[in-house]
Amino acid sequence: MMNQMYYQNACKFCLTTSVIFLLLPLSANAQTKLKEAEINNYMINQPNSNLLQIDDSVKKPISQNYLERIKMLIMRNQIEYPQPILNNYKQKSEQNIYLLIILKNRKVYVYKDNILQATYPVAIGKQGWETPTGKFTVINMVENPDWENPFNSSKEIIPPGLQNPLGERWIGFWTDGKDEIGFHGTYKRDSVGKAISHGCIRMYNEDVRKLYEIVKIGTPVIVIP
């Protein structure tokens, strides 16, 4: 009697184990298909799902092979779905620092938490080339910049050095898509304090180097008459 019960239980165990081993691959395959379907649905429903947004003006097509590799990476590593790159992304100042240019004073004032930190003399735009007033932000920064002569049809490039009108640093804060205005150094020290530029804010090289270390992309710039 005991032997009969033992053989029955053993048969049941073997049968159950066989069924489990048969179902496991099917379950795993079903989960993989479900995950792949979820990923496909996620990627298809993203805005501009076939475009990689680099910035507001540049878009690059993504190949189908690239999309397949992304899907495989997600499936293999079970990582969270990548978030879509946001359009109109803007960097914001987290320093609580802003710059105030008062044109009539020929000076730029550096504030942090509304407390004056530094003041530097500047040159501003001459008549007919006035420095624009308003609220702006720092949009680009360059150490030892080249200068392209906008008044020369040959687009002459002046490398860094004593002949370069931009001096040792460039901090841009305005553009119309073609021309730019910003802070820059100058080797013409006697021009600082005058209305003499084509709209830019000229500074002594030693001062613009200091300012360059204070600001970053996104720092607010306020210009008033």
Helices (H), the chain: 2-44, 64-77, 205-214
Q: Strands across the sheet with 169-175, in order?
A: 140-143, 169-175, 180-186, 201-204
200 included as an active-site residue: yes
SS3 for 182?
strand
198 included as an active-site residue: no
SS3 for 202?
strand
Residue 67 φ then ψ, to 5°? -60, -40
Rounded to a whole number of angstroms, the distance between the first and last alpha carbons of the chain is 107
Burial class for 200, CB neighbours closer than 10 Å (0-12, 13-18, 19+): buried
For the chain, the residue count is 225
Distance CA 202, CA 103 (A): 12
Known catalytic residues are 184, 200
